[in-house]
Structures are given as C-alpha cells and as structure tokens.
Amino acid sequence: MINDSQVVNAAFRGSFEPALIEEINRIGIYQEVEEGEYLIRPGSYIRSVPIILSGSIKIMRPDAVGNEALLYYLSGLDSCAISMTGSPDNKPSEITAIAEEKTRLIFIPVEKVDEWICRFPTWKQFVFRTYQRRFDDMIATIDSIAFKKLDERLLTYLKKKTQSCQCTVLQITHEEIAREMATSREVISRLLKQLERVGYLRLSRNKIEIL
Amino acid sequence: MINDSQVVNAAFRGSFEPALIEEINRIGIYQEVEEGEYLIRPGSYIRSVPIILSGSIKIMRPDAVGNEALLYYLSGLDSCAISMTGSPDNKPSEITAIAEEKTRLIFIPVEKVDEWICRFPTWKQFVFRTYQRRFDDMIATIDSIAFKKLDERLLTYLKKKTQSCQCTVLQITHEEIAREMATSREVISRLLKQLERVGYLRLSRNKIEIL
DNA sequence: GCGGTTCCGTGATATATGTCACACGGGCAA
DNA sequence: TTGCCCGTGTGACATATATCACGGAACCGC
C-alpha cells in the first residue's frame, strides 16, 4: 500500500525543489476519483486547483441545451489552468471536469498557488507551462472544429484517446463520442463503420478496437 | 503633442502602483501601429509582450492552406496571453496579430514580465487577469463555432465589432468577414443580405451600417 | 469618359451534416 | 423462455454550408 506522500514525492521529484514538495505534501489534499466521476460541474465555485498525479481528466464545455464540446484532456502532472486564477470576481465555473479513468490528484488551494509563485521558481515555471499547454490545446481544438471535416476530427479523436489510455481498445459508446464532438450518434456510427470497412478498426458493442 | 510617458501614465494610473508605472516607462518600448499592420506573424519569435494602450488588435489562427480563424480581440489595457510565457522551448508563434485600427502599445520584454510578477502585486494580478480573459474568450469562440449556426455567429461577430470600434458603421468587406469566420464570401454576402432585408443593417460597398 | 479592378448579388448545384424512423441483436432480469 | 433496454446499422430525407459561374455596380487612375 502506497501512502499519499510517497505518491506525491514520486510524481514531483525532479520537477520541484524539495521544499516545495514538502509544502505540497503539507497543504495539498490528496484524492482519488473513479472513472466517470465529476470533479467540477458548471455553476460550482472553484476554490482549489487540481494537479493530476496519475490517470486522466477530460474538460468539457457544455452549452445551454445539453450539448458539450471537448476542450482538452489533462493527464500526468498537468493541471487545469482555468481554475488557477483565483477568479477575483468569483464567477462560478463554466466547465465540466470528468475522470476518464481512475485518477489520483492533489488539490492546492488557490491562495497557495498564488503565494508559491514568488517563493518557488519551479512552481512559477509550472504554472506558466500549464497555461501555455492549455492555450495550445485550445488552439488545436479551435483549429480542428473550424477547419476539419468530421471524419478527420474523428480520427484525431481516436488517436488522442488511445494515447491517453495507453491502449488500443476503447470502451466507449458511439453516443458518447458524438456528445464530445458535438454531433449526433448516427453520424459517428456511419463514420466509424466507414473506418471499419477500410480496416482501420474493429467495432463491437461498447468497444472500438484500433488496428 | 502628448509624449509617450504621459500616455503610459494616463493609461496605467489607478491600475498599477507608481513604482511599476515608472519601470514600465523606463523599460517598455512605446510603439504606434496603423490599421492593418501586422504585429506578429506565424513563425516569428516572440521576445516581448505587447500591452494595448488604445486601439485594438485582432488575434487570428491561420491554418496550412490560407484559412484563418479569429481567436479574440485585444483592446484597452489588454495584453496577449499567448506571448506572456517566455516560451522556454522557444517555439515560434502560431498566431497572427493585426491592428484593427490605429493602435498604441507598449512592449515589455518577457524577462521583465516574469521578474515583475514577484516585485509588483498589481502586475501579478494583471498577468493573471489577462490569462483569465483570454481563456474566457477562447471558450466563447469554441462555443460559437461548435454550437451556433453561421447566421447567429455573424450576428455576434457584428456586435463585437461595433463594440470594439465604438461605432455603428463598419468599414469592412464581406471577404474579410468570411476569412475571419472561416467560411466563404458568398455565404456571408447572402446572410448579410438577409439581415438587411430584415432591417437589421444597411449595406453598401466596403461598409455595413448597423441600425 | 474609359478600362480595369475590386466588391457585391444571386442562381444552380454539390457536399456534409443533422434528423427521423425503424429494424436488429445481445444481454439481462424476471 | 420471454420480454425489454440499450447500443448499433442503415435508408430516406431535411438542412446548412461550400463551390461554381456569372453579371453588374462602385471606385480608381488615367
């Protein structure tokens, strides 16, 4: 049985200075979430910032009528930039965060995020790198929605998914893919079937096997 | 004739502490750009961060084959978050920044952006607020591309545009709108005509008058 | 005014995507 | 076994957007 601080130490060693790791251990709140669990819902207030130790989280943007668009995934040692800024105007969140698989993370209160920036150079670096990555992700998302056709988007979606779970068999329904890509189930079914005919993958119930 | 430091002082008074304003005056490089001028092109390296004093800048994302998508606008006291992170890996820019009108700005070298964060609390606030705003903008952009039809997007486009220039007459061609919205000229012409028939605006060459 | 250029309007048509309707099959529970 | 959901496959059709083709209008330099 691994205890929390061991996990934290292992994750951060090499990235952060020892004093910072100690602070994180002291202040941070360790948590494990199961696949499908919600970390953030739109309307909730964000008072602490999650850092992903292992597993992965998907960040989605829901609209008013039940659609959602996938913004980006978070995985090892990433964090959610949106929640970083102490949101001085105290707006509620506009996004949803859902665990893609069993995920371990540690929560840092926003005040600390702020405070550490000046105390620990590696933390400052971390915060900025996180922002940068999220920007790049969002730009990539805009790119693909604005310029690509659905079949191409579906392909990159499948690629990212397999990368993030490190496997070739996805446990997922067409319906769910459709929601994440803000389209309809039938369309995804058809495109997947096409990819199967081409030999790119094999389909079965609740399962997509990439070849 | 107003000199640079007067402009800077006027813009920042109230937002920044005097010592910081003095630093900005000492370090920052003041510049004026005319409408249509490029500030950043994809492929160029960003070594300093612009803060807009007056006027406005649009930030676009070009793709490989000549399309572009509008990411967001910058105006008074905004800054471009993308360029803020000293980009330690030194990647070239992936975006384009173009002046929408005659614009005054001041460039801060990236090292200073970093350094000031710990020296001046209001600067830290400014940097984070900037990130936050850009995130919100990008999410709004994704929202509208993913969920809205073109006619609705066109409407919000026109609204933002009139807001940003503080006027009801837009000097712009259908072609340009089309490029910013990543669609084709004919489509925009048709939709605009529709809006004219409905009495929402009046069209003439190079000009759109909102009613 | 004239010729060229840029912008705009608009029909016809193509394509991509969204929607509806329904059938099939597998699993699962009673 | 029976019946029922859920996920899937697929045809038919609706709609939105893209593309092509053209003509005409406004403007610009001479």
Nucleotide nearest to A173 (CA to C1'): D7
Question: Cα dist. B59→A44, B34, B62 in Å?
Answer: 31, 16, 10
Which residue stretches of chain B are H helix? 4-12, 18-27, 110-119, 121-147, 150-165, 174-180, 185-197
The length of chain A, given as a count of residues: 211
Question: Which CATH architecture group holds A150-210?
Answer: Orthogonal Bundle (1.10)
**Residue B90, pLDDT score:** 63
What stretch(es) of chain A map to CATH 2.60.120.10?
4-146
**Residue B77, pLDDT score:** 83
CB contact under 8 A, B147 and A85: no
From first to last of its 211 residues, chain A has per-residue pLDDT tens of 445 667 777 778 888 999 999 999 999 999 999 988 999 888 888 888 999 999 999 999 998 877 889 999 998 888 887 777 655 566 777 899 999 889 999 999 988 998 999 999 999 999 988 988 999 999 999 999 999 999 999 999 999 999 888 889 999 999 999 999 999 999 999 999 999 999 999 999 999 999 8
Give the sign of the dihedral formed by CA A192, CA A194, CA A195, CA A199: positive
Closest amino acid to nucleotide D25 (CA–C1'):
B205
CB contact under 8 A, B131 and A81: yes
Q: Is the CB of A177 under 7 A from strand D?
A: no
Q: Which helix (H) or strand (E) holds A168?
A: none
CB contact under 8 A, A118 and B114: no
CB contact under 8 A, A71 and B139: yes
CB A188, CB A178: distance < 8 Å: yes
Whose structure tokens read 């790198």? A129
**Residue B1, pLDDT score:** 40
What stretch(es) of chain A map to CATH 1.10.10.10?
150-210
Nucleotides of D under 7 A from a protein CB: 7-12, 16-21, 26-27
A66–B contact, CB cutoff 8 A:
no
Q: Is the CB of A148 under 7 A from strand D?
A: no
**Burial category of B123 from C-beta neighbours within 10 Å (exposed 0-12, middle 13-18, buried 19 and up):** buried
According to CATH, what is the number of the domain B149-210? Answer: 1.10.10.10
Question: Cα dist. B37→A151, B88, B99, B169 in Å?
Answer: 37, 27, 5, 21
Q: How many A/B residue pairs have CB atoms within 8 Å?
A: 92
Q: What's the pLDDT tens digit per position in B138-166? A: 999 999 999 999 999 999 999 999 988 88
What stretch(es) of chain B map to CATH 1.10.10.10?
149-210
CB B84, CB B49: distance < 8 Å: yes
- Domain A4-146 listed as CATH 3.90.180.10: no
